[in-house]
């Protein structure tokens, strides 16, 4: 590692922060400059320097630690390609006395991050490698959070997790929100792994289902179908050879990013496409307590914007359309099934039978019971 580059960085860092930097080898032995630590325990400080370098390389960002004397230190790994050759170290920072800060007003954490930034700009460390490590650590953190959330929600099957999370994943993909899509995908993966552990065939089956869902959502959001087909075919052919959770996760996240890129490259879809998708979802879930805000989120629109688009497209409000769909479903059940009037009421999304009767009569001109009698009589 060129000493001149390290010396220039140390000089620039000192000018900007007032903090001294020195270089070490991979074991924490000082190779250039001098330590600022006053604790007197060289062996203990050397061990902490080595640990700080290793941990920073592991997590992708400066690792703050304390030496045996209680002084703060941090490090950035010196790297050639992916090989760690040493470290840039700051030590001897007294947390009670030091007001070390960047000119912009940042504190200790910002000063540590600034050292890494200067090292990356001077090509003294591998910026791409550290970025990858940061991303890995973020995913691991999200995974831990998702496990905690999973236990709190009490999911008892992979299918239940998938059904609950799928609408949010579809919505995030359609609005090109990669961060949210990753978070949701991570929760789904945690559930799949939690309940499908030691069942690689089961894991792959659900992951393939996820890819189909994501690809379909991408096409609806303006992605190029032929491009997505090519991406899926070339990627799925390699799935059979994967036999670990880590590889499966990396494969699926890679698929998500390629799918999102297809949307960004080819997106040219009208808002009405998203509205149609949302209304189709509403029709599939008529028996549930559906709100306008929920369906608007699936359409990737604000509630007010969604209401305006629906009114312009259909000439009716969302509530009027939803009620019409429920009444149409009720008429079908009354004419073709043996469901009781109470069951028809519930299966069509009405929680109160008297309200159901009132709405049905307003739309059809007779009560549900009268309608069933009339329709059944006409079929004899």
Q: Are residues 14 and 117 in the same domain?
A: yes
Q: Are residues 154 and 261 in the same domain?
A: yes
Mention every residue, 6+ apart, whose C-beta is less than 8 A from residue 199: none
Token look-up 């590889």 returns 247
Ramachandran quadrant class, 261 (left: phi over 0; alpha: psi -120 to 50; beta: rest): alpha
CA distances to 9, 24, 65, 71 from 43, rounded to whole Å, are: 26, 14, 15, 14
| Percentage of the chain modeled with pLDDT above 90 | 24
Token look-up 């370098």 returns 53
pLDDT digits (tens, 9 = 90+) for 26-74: 999 999 999 988 888 889 899 999 999 998 888 888 888 888 888 888 9
- Domain CATH code at residue 89: 3.30.450
Q: Are residues 215 and 244 in the same domain?
A: yes
Q: Indicate the pLDDT class of residue 265, thresholds 50, 70 and 90.
A: low
pLDDT digits (tens, 9 = 90+) for 138-164: 666 655 555 555 555 544 455 666 667
Return the pLDDT at 107: 72
Pairing of strands 30-32, 22-24: antiparallel
Q: Indicate the pLDDT class of residue 209, thresholds 50, 70 and 90.
A: confident
DSSP state of 62: P
Average pLDDT for the chain: 78
Return the pLDDT at 143: 55
DSSP state of 41: -
Q: Are residues 363 and 248 in the same domain?
A: no
Token look-up 């305006």 returns 308
pLDDT digits (tens, 9 = 90+) for 229-254: 555 555 666 676 777 766 777 777 77
Q: Are residues 148 and 245 in the same domain?
A: yes
Last residue of a domain, one of 207, 237, 267: 267
Q: Indicate the pLDDT class of residue 281, thresholds 50, 70 and 90.
A: confident
d(Cα 178, Cα 180) in Å, to the nearest integer?
A: 6
- Are the beta carbons of 65 and 74 closer than 8 angstroms? yes
Q: Are residues 311 and 334 in the same domain?
A: yes
- Domain CATH code at residue 337: 1.10.10.60
- What total number of domains does the chain contain? 3
Q: Indicate the pLDDT class of residue 169, thresholds 50, 70 and 90.
A: confident
Q: Are residues 121 and 148 in the same domain?
A: no
Return the pLDDT at 184: 78
Q: Are residues 24 and 88 in the same domain?
A: yes
pLDDT digits (tens, 9 = 90+) for 102-135: 444 457 788 888 999 999 999 999 988 888 888 7
In the predicted structure, residue 172 carries a pLDDT above the cut 90:
no
Classify residue 364 by burial, with Cβ atoms within 10 Å: 0-12, 13-18, 19+. Answer: middle
In the predicted structure, residue 280 carries a pLDDT above the cut 70:
yes
Last residue of a domain, one of 224, 243, 267: 267
d(Cα 308, Cα 312) in Å, to the nearest integer?
A: 6
Q: Are residues 144 and 242 in the same domain?
A: yes
Return the pLDDT at 141: 60
Last residue of a domain, one of 250, 267, 284: 267
pTM of the model: 0.41
Q: Are residues 183 and 304 in the same domain?
A: no
Mean pLDDT value across residues 332-338: 90
Q: Indicate the pLDDT class of residue 287, thresholds 50, 70 and 90.
A: confident
Q: Are residues 314 and 361 in the same domain?
A: yes
Mean pLDDT value across residues 273-299: 81
Q: Are residues 262 and 280 in the same domain?
A: no
Q: What is the DSSP string of 174-231?
A: HTT-HHHHHHHHHHHHHHHHHHHTT-HHHHHHHHHHHHHHHHHHHHHTT--HHHHHHH
Q: Where are the beta strands (DSSP E) in the chain?
A: 22-24, 30-32, 65-66, 72-80, 83-93
Residue 292 lies in domain: 272-378
Return the pLDDT at 105: 47
| Coil vs helix vs strand at 86 | strand
In the predicted structure, residue 373 carries a pLDDT above the cut 80:
yes
Torsion angle of the four alpha carbons 138, 140, 143, 144, in this order, in degrees rounded to the nearest 10: -110
């Amino acid at each position: 590692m060129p000493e001149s580059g390290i010396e220039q960085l140390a000089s620039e860092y000192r000018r900007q922060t007032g903090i001294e930097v020195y270089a070490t080898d991979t074991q924490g032995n000082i190779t250039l400059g001098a330590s600022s630590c006053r604790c007197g325990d060289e062996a203990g400080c050397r061990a902490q320097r080595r640990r700080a370098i290793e941990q920073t390389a592991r997590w992708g960002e400066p690792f703050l630690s304390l030496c045996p004397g209680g002084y703060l230190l941090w490090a950035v790994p010196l790297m050639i390609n992916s090989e760690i050759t040493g470290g840039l170290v700051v030590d001897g920072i007294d947390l009670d006395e030091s007001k070390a800060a960047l000119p912009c007003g940042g504190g200790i954490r910002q000063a540590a991050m600034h050292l890494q930034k200067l090292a990356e700009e001077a090509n003294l460390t591998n910026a791409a490698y550290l970025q990858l490590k940061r991303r890995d650590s973020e995913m691991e953190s999200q995974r831990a959070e998702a496990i905690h959330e999973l236990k709190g929600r009490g999911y008892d099957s992979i299918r239940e997790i998938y059904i609950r999370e799928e609408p949010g994943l579809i919505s995030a993909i359609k609005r090109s929100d990669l961060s949210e899509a990753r978070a949701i995908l991570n929760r789904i993966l945690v559930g799949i792994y939690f309940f499908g552990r030691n069942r690689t065939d089961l894991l792959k089956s659900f992951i393939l289902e996820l890819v189909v869902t994501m690809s379909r959502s991408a096409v609806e959001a303006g992605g190029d179908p032929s491009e997505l087909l090519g991406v899926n075919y070339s990627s799925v052919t390699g799935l059979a050879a994967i036999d670990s959770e880590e590889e499966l996760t990396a494969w699926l996240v890679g698929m998500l990013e390629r799918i999102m890129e297809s949307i960004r490259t080819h997106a040219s879809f009208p808002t009405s496409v998203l509205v149609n998708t949302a209304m189709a979802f509403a029709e599939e879930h008529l028996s549930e307590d559906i709100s306008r805000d929920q369906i608007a989120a699936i359409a990737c629109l604000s509630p007010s914007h969604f209401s305006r688009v629906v009114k312009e497209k259909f000439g009716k409000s969302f509530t009027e359309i939803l009620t019409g769909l429920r009444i149409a479903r009720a008429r079908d059940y009354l004419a073709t099934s043996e469901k009781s009037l109470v069951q028809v009421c519930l299966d069509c999304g009405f929680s109160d039978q008297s309200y159901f009767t009132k709405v049905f009569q307003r739309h059809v001109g007779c009560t549900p019971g009268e309608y069933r009698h009339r329709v059944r009589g006409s079929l004899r």
